[in-house]
Structure 1
C-alpha cells in the first residue's frame, strides 16, 4: 500500500481493520495535524498497519475486554506532524526517539517494529482518582499484558502504552510519584502486585491478546 495521495486513498486506509474493535481511522486524528493543516499520513501504510495491529490485538483489545471503552487521545503521527510538534514545543519527542513509538511506520534504532497510543480508561478514572491511583492500572497492565513501555500523565491518568518487538517492560510517570515505577533489575519488577489490584477487573481470558 502506498502513502495516500488522495482523499479516497486515505478513506480506504482508514477502513483497514486492526483488530475486532479498532480501525486505522481511530488512530489518525491529531490536534497538531488538524489545527496546523499538516496531513497525518503514513509514509509506509503497510508497516503502520502491521505495528498497529499488534498494538490493538495484544494491548488495547485486552484492556477494552477488561475495562470497557478505551478513549484514544493520541496515536499515530507522521514524521512531518511529529517534527512540527517537536520543533514548536508541542510535547513531541524527536522523530528518531518516536520511531516505533508514535511514528508507527519506522522501526527504531535496533530495528524493532512498534506502535504507541495515548489512551484514557474511563472506567478506571471514574473509580480511582486519588493521588497515586494510576499505579493500580500500571501494575494491572504490568502483570497481565505484553507491553514495552508505559508512561502515565496526571490528567485522567492518560497513559502512553507502547507495543514493541523484544519488549523492555519499563513504566515511567509524570504523575506523582514521578519517575520510574519499574524496569528490569528493580526489586518490584517480578512477581505479582495483588495489593494494587483490589477492586479491578480480572485478567484477560486466554486468547484475548494478553499474557495468559
Structure 2
C-alpha cells in the first residue's frame, strides 16, 4: 500500500482490520497532530500494518478479551509528529528511540519490527483508583503475554505496551515505586508472580475474525 495522499486513500488505510476488534484508524489519533495541523500518517503503511497487527493480535486482543474494552490513549506517531513532539518537549522521545515503538513504520537500529500503544484498562483503572498496586497488572501481563516493554504512568495506571521482534521483557514505571520493576537477567524475571494478582480473571484469547 502506498502512503495516502488523498482522503479516500486515508480512509482505505483506516479501514484495514488489524485484528478481530481493532482497525488501523483506532491508532491514528494524536493530540499533537490535531492541535498543530501535522499529518499523522504512515510513510510505509505496509510495515505499520504488519507491526500493528502483531501488537493487536498478541497483546491488545487478549487484554480486551480478558478485561473488557481497553481504551487507546495514543499509539502510532508519524516521524513528523514525533519529531515535533520531541523538539517541543511534549513527552516524545527522539525519532531514533521511537523507531519500532510509537513509530510503527520504521525498524529499530537492530532491524527489528515493533509497535507501541499507550492504553488504559478500565477494569483495572477503577481498582487502581481504589488503591490497587500497579504492579498487580504489570505482573499479570508479564506472566501471560509476549510483551517487549511496559511503562506505567500515574493517571489511571495508563501504560505503554510494546510488541517487538526479539522482545526485551522489561517493565518500568513513573508510579511509586518508580524505576525498573524487572528486566532480562533480573532475579525476579522468572518464577511465579501470581500472588500479586489474586482475583484477576484468567487469560482469555481470541483467534481472528468471527466466522
Matched position secondary structure for 1:52: helix
Determine if contact 2:73/2:118 at 8 Å carries over to the other structure. Answer: yes
**Match for residue 108 of structure 1?**
108
Normalised by the size of structure 1, how large is the TM-score? 0.95
**Residue equivalent to 1:188:** 188
Q: Secondary structure at the match of 1:181?
A: strand
Looking at structure 2, the residues matched to 86 and 26 of structure 1 have their Cα atoms a distance apart, in angstroms, of: 23
3-state SS of the aligned residue for 2:51?
helix
CA drift at 1:67: 0.3
Structure 1, unaligned stretches of length 5 or more? none
Q: Structure 2: 5+ residue runs without aligned partners? A: none
110-119 vs 195-204, which moves further: 195-204
TM-score, structure 2 normalization: 0.96
How far 1:204 sits from its partner (Å)? Answer: 2.9
By how many angstroms is 1:192 displaced?
1.6
CA contact (8 A) 1:132 1:175 kept: no
- CA distance in 1 between partners of 2:55 and 2:186 (Å): 26
Q: Is the 8 A contact 1:131 1:176 kept in 2?
A: no
* Aligned counterparts, 1:76-91, within 5 A: 76-91=76-91
Aligned equivalents of 1:36 and 1:8: distance in 2? 22
Q: Identify the residue that residue 161 of structure 1 maps to in structure 2.
A: 161
Q: Which runs of 4+ in 1 moved over 6 A?
A: none
Tell me the equivalent position of 2:16.
Answer: 16
Contact 2:128 2:156 in 1 (8 A): no
Cα separation, 2, equivalents of 1:208 and 1:129: 32
The number of residues matched between the two structures is 208
Q: What secondary structure sits across from 2:56 in the alignment?
A: helix
- Tell me how far 1:129 sits from its aligned partner: 2.6
Residue of structure 2 equivalent to 1:136? 136
* 1:25 Cα deviation after fit: 0.1
Secondary structure class of the residue paired with 2:129: coil
Alpha-carbon separation, structure 1, partners of 2:88 and 2:132: 31
Q: Cα RMSD over matched residues?
A: 1.3
Question: Which segment drifts farther, 86-95 or 130-139?
Answer: 130-139
